[in-house]
Amino acid sequence: MRRQPAWVLTCAVQRLGLSLAVLCAQFAWCPRLAFPDHVERSAEAKDHADRGMELAQNGDLKGAEAELLLAIELAPRDPAYLAILGGILGMQQKLPESSAYFEKALRIDAGDVATRRNLASNQFQFTDRGVSVHAGFTALSEV
């Protein structure tokens, strides 16, 4: 391995430090740009969501639903919590409620491909039940 001269390393470290200082200074006056609402998570909301995920993994979908509803009450604009609750409701075959939470999550984070796919899956299941012929395509075209 070739060794770099000390001055090159010193210059790189100083430049990195300066870049970090400039970045921090940019966001010091405007914290809403640094941390948008939809990614802010309170510790309590995260605890409820983690408990909900654990309950879901252990097969207690009703308990998981209750915990995620509490998490969403504390962090209503968190698309991850909304999408997870949509998935848990979908596992309970509560497809209309599940789709509503997927749609809320997509209104906040329209680029989430997994949530979009889950919504399309719900809507496809509606078509299997004879609810709507075109419902399976709305998740891909509307959002």
Q: CB atoms < 10 A from the CB of 112, how many?
A: 19
Tell if the pTM clears 0.85, that is, is over it: no
At residue 2, the pLDDT reads: 52
Specify the length of the chain in residues: 143
What does the pLDDT read at residue 125?
87
pLDDT at 77 over 50: yes
d(CA 80, CA 62) in angstroms, rounded, equals: 19
**pLDDT tens readout for residues 82-129:** 999 999 999 999 999 999 999 999 999 999 999 999 999 998 887 766
Comparing 16 with 121, the larger pLDDT belongs to 121
* Residue 107: count of CB within 10 angstroms of its CB: 13
Q: Which two tokens stand for residue 99?
A: 């789709």
Q: Where are the alpha helices (DSSP H) in the chain?
A: 6-28, 31-34, 43-57, 61-74, 79-91, 95-108, 113-128, 135-141
Q: How far is it, in rounded angstroms, from Cα 112 to Cα 78?
A: 12
Place of tokens 């891909």: 140
